[in-house]
Structure 1
Amino acid sequence: MFRYIVRRLLQMVLTFFGATFMLFALVFANQKDPIQALVGERPVSESQRIALTERYHLDEGFFMQYWYYMKGLFTGDFGTSMTGRKNWEMMADAWPVTLRLALIAIVIAATFSVTMGVYSALKRGGVFDNVSLFITLVLLAMPIVVIAPLFQLIFGIELGWFPPTATRDATVWQLLLPAIVLACIVIAPEMRVTRTAVVENLRADYVRTARAKGLTRTRVIWVHVLRNSLIPVVTLIGVDLGGLMAGAIVTEHVFNIPGVGFNLARAIKTEDGPLVVGFVSILVILFLFINLLVDLLYAALDPRIRYE
């Protein structure tokens, strides 16, 4: 296990450098005039342009800019936004909001998809199974840019069940509707994977052995079958984190939530390269460590799995 963790950490280092290099290259190639994009239509004096160009090394080449960024990153300096505010200060304000939103979305998605997936497998071929299949196909066909404003209009404005927007200090109640929107983009695949895994495990020999020993049907399903069926689901939940973070950009923008997605959307619009790179770098680190945690959870779910 120790050698496996060390090997994975070394792979994560290489992945981090590759991801940040590609990200920096994309931001660098997309920059036209970030100074003018920041101020909008207002004129920029020559002295201001010279000072900002020197401050952010805009007159230097790509590799030198990347070197300055990595040097600052490893010394705890996440850089300064084009607005003049430190990136770590903006991250400290945005990350707690986005993490709460993502956590609520994951809990909703996991609870609903696992419960409905197991029930659909037990009633396979029935009305519930067919209806759930139709609903999952509809959710898979609807992108987040459609689901977010649609749910906001129906449940936030027309019906008034949830707040249509969030305040700066977003409460759990204000984050509930955006979390449901985020959960919708991962519920469908998680539910179908759960159903498939449960159907396969119900046909396994250990299920017949457990029933022959006198165990109740409920205990066999929710203890033995579900535990073995959760392995592919846990894998999918780890992968879905990337989808949740991508969906958060749209969701936070629609519901006016001051989180990571909201700041990223604004930074991309204003060509604020340092802020984009800083936020996405933290996303890369978070994604890598969560995938490592998911891999380590396999051994807890299935004792037969060992990492050597």
Structure 2
Amino acid sequence: MIRYIVRRLLQGVLTFFGATFVVYALMFANQNDPLQALAGERPISDNVRQALTERYHLNEPFIVQYGYYMRGLFQGDFGISLTGRPVADLLDRAWPVTAQLAVMAVVFAALIGVVAGVVAGIRRAGIFDNITLVITLVLISIPIVVLAPVLQLFLGVQLSLFPPTAGSSPSFYALMLPAIVLGAGSLATYSRLTRTSVVENLRADYVRTAKAKGLTRNRVIGVHVLRNSLIPVVTYIGVDLGSLMAGAIITEGVFNVPGVGSALFRGITTEDGPLVVGFVSVLVIVFILANLIVDLLYAVLDPRIRYE
């Protein structure tokens, strides 16, 4: 187990360097005039331009800029945004909000999706299974850019069940509606994955053996079928958690959530390289750790799996 973890961490280091290098290269290649993009239509004097260029090493070759960034990163310095604020301060403000939003979305989607998938798999081809199929297809087919303002209008404005916007310091209740919107697509995927896996496992030999030994139906489904059926779902949750944290740009924009998505969108539009690369670097770490935890959970769900 220890050797496996060490090997995965070493692979994660290579992944981290590769991902940050690609993102930094894309930001470097896309930079026309980040200083002017930051200032908008206001002119920048030559003295200010020269000082900012030297401060952010914009006159250096790309590989030198990347070297400066990685050296500061290993020292715990994420750099200075083009707005003059430390990227670490922006991370401290944005990440807790987005992490809470992503976790709420995953919990909401997993609880409802897994339960619906198990019931649909047990009652295959029944009324509940057909209704679940229609609902999941509708949720998957509607993009967030449409679903978010529609739910905001009906649930937030007309019915007043949730706050229509989160605000600068969102509470748990204020993040519930954005979490529902963000987790809607994942809910549909969890439900279909669980349903398919339950149907396959109900036909497996070990289920027939368990029934032949006299085990009750609830024990067969709750102990044997459910644990094996959750393996593909757990795999998807590990990847989906990082995706939700990275892909919340539209949701955070619609509901005015001051999180990672809003900061990344602002950084991309202003060509703020240090801000974008700093946030993406943390996202890469989240992806690596989430996938490692998912792989380790396999042994918990299925005792036959061993990492030697």
TM-score for the superposition, normalised by structure 2: 0.97
The runs of at least 4 consecutive aligned structure 1 residues that moved more than 3 Å come to: none
Cα distance in 2 for partners of 1:247, 1:162 equals 22
Residue of structure 2 equivalent to 1:171: 171
State whether residues 246 and 283 of structure 2, in contact with CA within 8 Å, keep that contact through their aligned partners in structure 1.
Answer: no
Pair 1:203 & 2:164 matched: no
Residue of structure 2 equivalent to 1:235: 235
**SS, match of residue 174 in structure 1:** coil
Q: RMSD of the TM alignment (CA)?
A: 1.1
1:303 maps to a residue whose letter is: P
State whether residues 144 and 247 of structure 1, in contact with CA within 8 Å, keep that contact through their aligned partners in structure 2.
Answer: no
State whether residues 299 and 305 of structure 2, in contact with CA within 8 Å, keep that contact through their aligned partners in structure 1.
Answer: yes
Residue of structure 2 equivalent to 1:72: 72
Identity over aligned pairs, percent: 67
Residue of structure 1 equivalent to 2:114: 114
1:60 maps to a residue whose letter is: E
Cα distance in 1 for partners of 2:142, 2:30 equals 29
**CA positional deviation for 1:140:** 1.7
**CA positional deviation for 1:226:** 0.4
State whether residues 99 and 245 of structure 2, in contact with CA within 8 Å, keep that contact through their aligned partners in structure 1.
Answer: no
**SS, match of residue 195 in structure 1:** helix
State whether residues 140 and 188 of structure 1, in contact with CA within 8 Å, keep that contact through their aligned partners in structure 2.
Answer: yes
State whether residues 24 and 66 of structure 2, in contact with CA within 8 Å, keep that contact through their aligned partners in structure 1.
Answer: yes
Cα distance in 1 for partners of 2:29, 2:161 equals 44
Q: How does 1:262-301 map to 2 (within 5 A)?
A: 262-301=262-301
Instruction: Identify unmatched segments of 5+ residues in structure 2.
Output: none
Cα distance in 2 for partners of 1:133, 1:242 equals 26
Residue of structure 1 equivalent to 2:60: 60
Cα distance in 2 for partners of 1:247, 1:131 equals 28
State whether residues 198 and 226 of structure 2, in contact with CA within 8 Å, keep that contact through their aligned partners in structure 1.
Answer: yes
**CA positional deviation for 1:209:** 2.5
Residue of structure 1 equivalent to 2:2: 2
- Report the number of matched residues: 308
2:138 maps to a residue whose letter is: V
**CA positional deviation for 1:307:** 1.2
- Cα deviation, 1:273-292, whole Å, max 9, x if unaligned, reads 10000001000001101100
State whether residues 120 and 195 of structure 1, in contact with CA within 8 Å, keep that contact through their aligned partners in structure 2.
Answer: yes
1:306 maps to a residue whose letter is: R
Residue of structure 2 equivalent to 1:33: 33
Cα distance in 2 for partners of 1:74, 1:200 equals 47
Instruction: Identify unmatched segments of 5+ residues in structure 1.
Output: none
Q: How does 1:213-252 map to 2 (within 5 A)?
A: 213-252=213-252
State whether residues 79 and 86 of structure 1, in contact with CA within 8 Å, keep that contact through their aligned partners in structure 2.
Answer: yes
State whether residues 242 and 286 of structure 2, in contact with CA within 8 Å, keep that contact through their aligned partners in structure 1.
Answer: no
- Cα deviation, 1:180-199, whole Å, max 9, x if unaligned, reads 01111211121111001101
Residue of structure 2 equivalent to 1:102: 102
Residue of structure 1 equivalent to 2:126: 126
Cα distance in 1 for partners of 2:168, 2:218 equals 45
- Cα deviation, 1:113-139, whole Å, max 9, x if unaligned, reads 100000011111112111211221122
TM-score for the superposition, normalised by structure 1: 0.97
